[in-house]
């Protein structure tokens, strides 16, 4: 996983040094945000969901020293919060189609437009997967964790993780081909 510590606010000139929690926040906020989106939390509920995740993390942070243990625990919280939020939204907007849960990318110039379109495609693909495959897709393909790491984080046997990855990767390739084909024919 790519470290995001570079995005940490600079407290070197004035004010207090960042706390352990704020360091962890800077390192994992991207992962948490992407995971919540990929696991089905609608845009309008993202802030609340991310806040809930980090509050729970803050309450239980002490005692974690190993990166692996912390990451697995953090992902467990993300997953709980995401599915709870998704259930809450489903109850509230039972008839809302997936298309309306995803904010279509605003037209932005150049590189950002491509990123927004790719995010839109990946998010739609993920939301069309069953939960177990969606987790594998998120952790192995989007977040680039190794399969042993994914198996640990999701609590499934290693062979099961490999099997699911093969299946989800084949589905992703097929979806990507269709996407490119449609894009080429319209472009």
Q: Contact residues for another protein (CB under 8 A)?
A: 7, 9, 14-16, 19, 21-22, 25, 29-30, 33-34, 37-38, 47, 50-56, 58-64, 73, 76-77, 79-81, 84, 105, 112, 114-123, 141-144, 169, 172-173, 176-177, 180
The smaller minimum CB distance to another protein, of residues 14 and 185, is found at 14
The smaller minimum CB distance to another protein, of residues 63 and 107, is found at 63
Q: How far is the CB of 153 from another protein (least distance, A)?
A: 11
The smaller minimum CB distance to another protein, of residues 33 and 95, is found at 33
Q: How far is CA 93 from CA 88, 101, 129, in A?
A: 9, 10, 20
Q: How far is the CB of 108 from another protein (least distance, A)?
A: 10
Helix then strand count (H, E) for the chain reads 8, 0
- Cα–Cα distance between 182 and 172 in angstroms, integer? 15
Q: How far is CA 138 from CA 23, 105, 133, 164, 172, in A?
A: 23, 20, 9, 12, 12
Q: Using the 8-state DSSP alphabet, how is residue 144 labeled?
A: -
Q: How far is the CB of 95 from another protein (least distance, A)?
A: 26
Q: How far is the CB of 97 from another protein (least distance, A)?
A: 20
The smaller minimum CB distance to another protein, of residues 120 and 162, is found at 120
- Return the C-alpha torsion angle 4, 6, 11, 17, nearest 10: 50
CB-CB contact of 131 with 168 (8 Å): no
The CA-to-CA distance between both ends of the chain, in Å, stands at: 34
Q: How far is the CB of 176 from another protein (least distance, A)?
A: 6
């Amino acid at each position: 996983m790519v470290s995001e510590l570079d995005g940490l606010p600079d407290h070197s000139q004035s004010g207090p040094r960042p706390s352990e929690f704020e360091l962890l926040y800077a390192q994992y906020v991207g992962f948490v945000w992407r995971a919540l989106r990929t696991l089905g939390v609608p845009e309008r509920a993202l802030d609340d969901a991310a806040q809930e995740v980090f509050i729970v993390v803050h309450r239980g942070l002490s005692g974690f020293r190993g990166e692996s243990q912390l990451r697995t625990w953090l992902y467990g919280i993300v997953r709980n919060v995401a599915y709870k939020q998704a259930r809450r939204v489903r109850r509230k907007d039972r008839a809302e189609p997936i298309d309306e849960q995803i904010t279509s990318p605003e037209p932005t110039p150049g590189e950002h437009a491509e990123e927004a379109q790719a995010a839109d495609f990946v998010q739609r693909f993920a939301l069309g997967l069953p939960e177990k495959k969606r987790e594998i897709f998120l952790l192995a393909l989007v977040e680039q964790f190794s399969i042993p790491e994914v198996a640990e984080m999701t609590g499934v046997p290693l062979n099961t993780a490999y099997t699911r990855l093969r299946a989800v990767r084949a589905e992703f390739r097929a979806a990507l081909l269709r996407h490119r084909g449609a894009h080429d024919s319209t472009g």
